[in-house]
Structure 1
């Protein structure tokens, strides 16, 4: 009688009595290192990686652990893609548009000016073609991507002086996240790509004239209101910044099916929790900033119109010269058009009415 038949007929007690129990091997613990592009002080955006790490550990019963390292601990904030690609770390948590210098297509995976909002981005990623298209692109860098957070629509940033028209962008040294700087440059601004932990000092010293990060909660933590009085909205370049978990392809392929499912589930959990945190924390922080003297200002209408015009012109140019961009953006743009048609009659109309009421 073979062992499988014996187990089926005799049950475990009989097998043990017969001394024929199958060998049981303890599963070796798996440990990864994750490099973040964000400072440890930001419990929201840096915290998304910690949420992911804790969920991986919980789902695996402690057999799979991911240590999280802030920007600068293992490598600089903007080197994490190289770190994952060459296998220096198994994973990274970052904003995709930081790496537009490698290829502008990276930005579509995060946020582009006048792009999708957070709900639309999640829809394109999970139920549209977004995840498939971005993974095809990231495969060139030996990485697998997982959505891992969204900030929601962002603020437009802090200015040392008032912006009254698009002309006031001329010569403005503006710390702006990644790809959006290409649009600012077309409007006469001087984009500065500076990691979050270094912005305050640059703004305080006057090395830059303006800076954006995310929104009230993080901006308050970073202290920007102490060195720049004018707080502009909206962040037209980030209608919903999606953060990504990048995993080295070989490290991912070495996982078993259960471990792969854990990575996917933990990332999805962090994806939802991150925006929930921002939506809870930002309103109170905005009240506190205004109470402390921050001067809220909308971007001038002519600036918004010119920014939109220059963004669409840039996308047309990139579609002509960058085949990676053309392939992904064509699908993204079609999806955006349909989403905006739908939201026009539902979300947007409902939101406009509710925000006009006294509650």
Structure 2
């Protein structure tokens, strides 16, 4: 039996036992209290906001009959251990970013964000209207999970650096925090990539353990205080043009919910996703202005660095195309992205160009 088959078998048995022993009294009363593990500490802007908003919506829509008890990173399991905990039935649901779990399957990258991939709206188009949710369901079911998109950081900046990046050679040996395929791209370009949980980034940057880091965007980054450590901020990034967050249930727990409870979860996640996207996009501009007023210097990568990012990104994307699940999801993802961008370029793109021109006059 291969490792994934073993994990699936173990997870199903563990989840069933946990459900039977822990949740039966709540079922009998017609009420449910589920345990959610998350990948960030309480109060982390944007990321934790999405989880809390979904929890609040679920409680309100169910009139308190379905309650989720949130356990932040480190309180029950570590930030990157939430997938295994829910798969195995040690917790009922997690809220996280799926690209933290590429060691489980590389196709999880597409469910969060990939380099030179979809913007936030393109991601919503694919996930809700072009089969992304169904593909995610199929992938996650291999690990005894049922996922929902639940949060969006929108475009993520290139990050905070303690030295300027003037050429691709400056990436050699750079100790940088970046997860997902973006981190794999930097590694291919010679950086020493660190996948550090969100709750540990500030200390790693302040202590000199790393030379730079990316997180979410001006609003969330300001809240973590990165501007106290360095003032070089690359405001456009290649790695995550629209990063989705997800709430994922243990499959047996999900199937034990009533049809009404399942509908409430679906609607709550969609509402939280929409609100979280607006939060990200609405707050970043004002936050960047505050950071600049405090002395932060926005930077842009030179074009030769962008070209290096592009070449390495294409190589990383192709590495797993021999896996049939990865290939199927990639084909769907890129077909939807091409369809969306073709319209945006001639519709929204031309409108924005003309709007900027007219307003400037």
> Does the TM-score normalized on the shorter chain lie above 0.5?
yes
Give 1:268 deviation, angstroms.
0.7
Pairwise CA distance, 1:344 = 1.3
Q: Which has the larger radius of gyration?
A: 1
Pick closer, same or farther for the CA change 1:88–1:355 going to 2, 3 Å. Answer: farther
Are the structure 2 counterparts of residues 355 and 160 from structure 1 closer, same or farther at C-alpha, using a change threshold of 3 Å? farther
Q: Distance in 2 between matches of 1:309 and 1:342?
A: 26
1:145 and 2:147 are equivalent in the alignment? yes
Count of residue correspondences? 334
User: How far is the alpha carbon of 1:355 from its aligned partner?
Assistant: 5.2
Which residue among 196, 213, 230 is the counterpart of 1:228? 230
Map of 1:350 onto structure 2: 351
The yes-or-no answer on 1:85 pairing with 2:87 is yes
Whether 1:72 aligns to 2:84 is: no
Q: CA offsets per residue over residues 30-71 of structure 1, 9 Å max, x none? A: 100111111213142102111111111111111111111211
Deviation at 1:353, TM superposition (A): 4.5
Match of 1:312 in 2: 314
Query: Does the Cα contact within 8 Å between 2:181 and 2:316 map onto a contact in 1?
Result: no
2:135 to 123, 133, 136: 133
Change (3 A) 1:43 1:235: same
Is contact 2:79–2:197 with CA below 8 Å preserved after alignment? Answer: yes
Question: Which residue of 171, 182, 185 corresponds with 2:187?
Answer: 185
Measure the CA separation in 1 of the matches of 2:141 and 2:202.
36
Structure with the largest fraction of helix: 2
- Which residue number corresponds to residue 332 of structure 2? 331
1:111–1:355 Cα change, 3 Å: farther
Residue 158 in 1 paired to residue 160 in 2? yes
Partner of 1:9: none
| CA distance in structure 2 between the aligned counterparts of 1:344 and 1:201, rounded to whole angstroms | 41
Among 52, 55, 60, the alignment partner of 2:57 is: 55
Distance 1:226 1:352, change over 3 A: farther
Cα distance in 2 for residues equivalent to 1:347 and 1:305: 25
SS in 2 for 1:348: helix
Deviations along 1:179-219, whole A, 9 cap, x unmatched?
31111111111111001111111111111001000101111
| Conservation of the 8 A alpha-carbon contact between 1:98 and 1:179 | no
1:248 equivalent to 2:250? Answer yes
Mark the runs of 5 or more structure 2 residues left unpaired by the alignment: 1-26
Query: What does the per-residue CA deviation read over 1:104-148, in whole Å, with 9 as the maximum and x for residues that have no partner?
Result: 111111000010111010110010011111110111110001010
TM-score (norm 1): 0.90
**What do residues 269-307 of structure 1 show as CA deviations (whole Å, max 9, x unaligned)?**
111111111122111110000011111011111111111
Change (3 A) 1:315 1:234: same
Q: Distance in 1 between matches of 2:356 and 2:160?
A: 24
* TM-superposition CA deviations, 1:144-200 (whole Å, max 9, x none): 010101111111100000111111111111101233111111111111100111111
Contact map agreement 1:175 1:193 (CA 8 A) in 2? yes
Aligned mate of 1:278, from 277, 280, 303 = 280
Superposition deviation, residue 233 in structure 1 = 2.5
Distance 2:293 2:103 in 1: 39
RMSD, aligned CA: 1.6
Conserved? CA contact 1:177–1:212, under 8 Å: no
Tell me the distance in 1 between the aligned counterparts of 2:250 and 2:93. Answer: 6
TM-score by length of 2: 0.89
- C-alpha distance in 1, partners of 2:228/2:348? 35
Using the TM superposition, give the Cα deviation of residue 316 of structure 1 relative to its aligned residue in structure 2, in angstroms: 2.0
